[in-house]
Amino acid sequence: MILRMRMKVVIDDKIPFIRGEVEKLVDEVVYLPGAAIGPTQVKDADALIVRTRTPCNRQLLEGSNVRFIATATIGYDHLDTKYLDEVGIQWTNCPGCNATSVGQYVRNALLEAERAGMIRLGETTVGIIGYGHVGKAVYNALRPYVKRILLNDPPLEKVESLECRVESFYSSLETLQEECDIITLHTPLTKDGEYPTWHLIDERFLNSLKRQPVIINAARGGVVDEKALLEAMDKGMVRQAIIDTWEGEPDINPTLLRRAFIATPHIAGYSADGKANATRMSLAALAEWLRAKGKGQRDNGKGIMANVNNICPPEAKAERTGLRYSPMEDSERLKMHPETFEKLRGNYPLRRE
């Protein structure tokens, strides 16, 4: 028997497969749109489960009861982690939860580019910038289709030197600029530190390209300077763009939207499988936090763990599964109605890996 704790949890209402599970652990659960989660809504909450649409910072949290935050996403630049650490609010993200989904998106987008006569995958060299969970998944998805893959990840190269674990090898950005027909981005968004990624792809980078590559951004919007990208496309220095993550979301650049071969509303990682992974990881983290606070009054979260492992997404239509999924359909919807960016992202049609 699970004894619920007297706690309140506020949850983004677009997180799938979570309804009914947290209710087994705590006595009050509130579901709200991510952008509607504000100081008033969290003041008496003990924990939050959010997505990228909820900035978790001093402005939101000061004076609240919140002591735990899980973001059901890989990225966590919407969390002011320095502030959270300073005030003792435990936080967690879901690294790798949707990596395979992004790999599917990039592979299938490039298959569409090949069908359009834009590239010949078997003759291409691909550069992957960022070789974490997602970069590895993209590597595995593309390896059977392309001639060569170059990797760029200075922090990883510095720590591990890649240890020759992959068939390709670490390359500098300069090498990618010279040799790659496709450059795909899978980094976090950082503005400081030794290797900042904010506007990593900027005018200077683009002006040094040698092979008119296709640029793919399925990382974070600010990794690409979109104004510079459009100028490079105008000059013929960039063959085409595939854009899933945008600066200024949801108010995206209308010119880049029109020009991009594929333009989607930040859904590369939105397979039902990836979403289920994120929900499982968030629930497990919440259960662990509650276990630490339970003091023997309950089953210490063990009951929910069985339910976590049982969270499975339903089957999708055949045309939105595996290799048959086409990002072109998602792109067409956004291009027709860019004002519905948030709606398209929040009500994404079921897709399976």
Weakest-pLDDT range from 164-173, 229-238, 252-261: 164-173
Contact 341, 265 (CB under 8 A): yes
Within a domain: 317: no
- The rounded radius of gyration (Å) of the Cα atoms in the chain is 21
Please tell me the predicted confidence (pLDDT) of residue 167: 45
The verdict on 166 and 282 lying in the same domain is no
pLDDT, tens only, 175-234: 999 999 999 999 999 998 899 999 999 999 999 999 999 999 999 999 999 999 999 999
The verdict on 196 and 176 lying in the same domain is yes
Please tell me the predicted confidence (pLDDT) of residue 155: 82
Return the half-sphere exposure (C-beta side, CA atoms, 13 A cut-off) of residue 98: 26
pTM value is: 0.86
- Which CATH number do you get for residue 88? 3.40.50.720
- The torsion angles phi and psi of 165, rounded to 5 degrees, stand at -85, -10
Within a domain: 298: yes
Is 120 a residue of the active site?
Answer: no
28, 179, 249, 342: the active-site residue: 249
The verdict on 47 and 92 lying in the same domain is yes
Domain-ending residue, one of 263, 282, 317: 263
Please tell me the predicted confidence (pLDDT) of residue 3: 54
Percent of the chain with pLDDT over 90: 82
Q: How much is the average pLDDT of 327-347?
A: 96
- Cα separation, 225 vs 15, whole angstroms: 30
Please tell me the predicted confidence (pLDDT) of residue 100: 97
Within a domain: 89: yes
The amino acid at 222 = G
The verdict on 215 and 289 lying in the same domain is no
CB atoms within 10 A of CB 84: 21
- Cα separation, 218 vs 66, whole angstroms: 31
- Model confidence at 270, pLDDT cuts 50, 70, 90, reads very high
Within a domain: 333: no
- The torsion angles phi and psi of 238, rounded to 5 degrees, stand at -120, 125
User: How many residues can be counted in the chain?
Assistant: 353
Please tell me the predicted confidence (pLDDT) of residue 292: 86
The verdict on 158 and 91 lying in the same domain is no
- Cα separation, 306 vs 165, whole angstroms: 35
The verdict on 155 and 283 lying in the same domain is no
Is 220 a residue of the active site?
Answer: yes
pLDDT at residue 19 greater than cutoff 70: yes
The verdict on 134 and 89 lying in the same domain is no
pLDDT at residue 15 greater than cutoff 70: yes
Of the ranges 19-28, 164-173, 241-250, 290-299, the best mean pLDDT one: 241-250
Q: How much is the average pLDDT of 12-27?
A: 91
Contact 132, 103 (CB under 8 A): no
The verdict on 166 and 252 lying in the same domain is yes
> Which of residues 277 and 302 earns the better pLDDT score?
277
Contact 70, 49 (CB under 8 A): yes
Averaged confidence pLDDT in the chain:
92
Domain-ending residue, one of 206, 240, 263: 263
- Cα separation, 189 vs 222, whole angstroms: 7
The verdict on 70 and 159 lying in the same domain is no
Within a domain: 315: no
Within a domain: 66: yes
- Model confidence at 170, pLDDT cuts 50, 70, 90, reads confident
Percent of the chain with pLDDT over 70: 91
- Which DSSP letter does residue 350 get? P
Contact 4, 26 (CB under 8 A): yes
Q: In what order do the strands lie in the sheet with 90-92?
A: 26-32, 5-12, 47-50, 68-71, 90-92
CB atoms within 10 A of CB 28: 15
Please tell me the predicted confidence (pLDDT) of residue 161: 52
Is 266 a residue of the active site?
Answer: yes
For the chain, how far is it from start to end, CA to CA, in angstroms? Answer: 35
Contact 217, 106 (CB under 8 A): no
Q: Is 127 helix (H, G, I), strand (E, B) or coil?
A: strand
The verdict on 93 and 108 lying in the same domain is no
Within a domain: 239: yes
pLDDT, tens only, 286-336: 989 988 887 434 454 455 555 666 788 999 999 999 999 999 999 999 999
Structural domain range at position 129: 100-263
53, 266, 333, 352: the active-site residue: 266
pLDDT at residue 243 greater than cutoff 90: yes
Contact 128, 151 (CB under 8 A): yes
Beta strand 125-129 pairing with 148-152 = parallel
pLDDT at residue 21 greater than cutoff 50: yes
Within a domain: 352: no
199, 220, 298, 351: the active-site residue: 220
pLDDT, tens only, 32-91: 999 999 999 999 999 999 999 999 999 999 999 999 999 999 989 999 999 999 999 999
CB atoms within 10 A of CB 342: 17
pLDDT at residue 157 greater than cutoff 90: no
The verdict on 136 and 248 lying in the same domain is yes
Tokens of 349: 């049609």
Domain count, the chain: 2
Contact 212, 239 (CB under 8 A): yes
The verdict on 301 and 280 lying in the same domain is yes
Tokens of 332: 């067409």
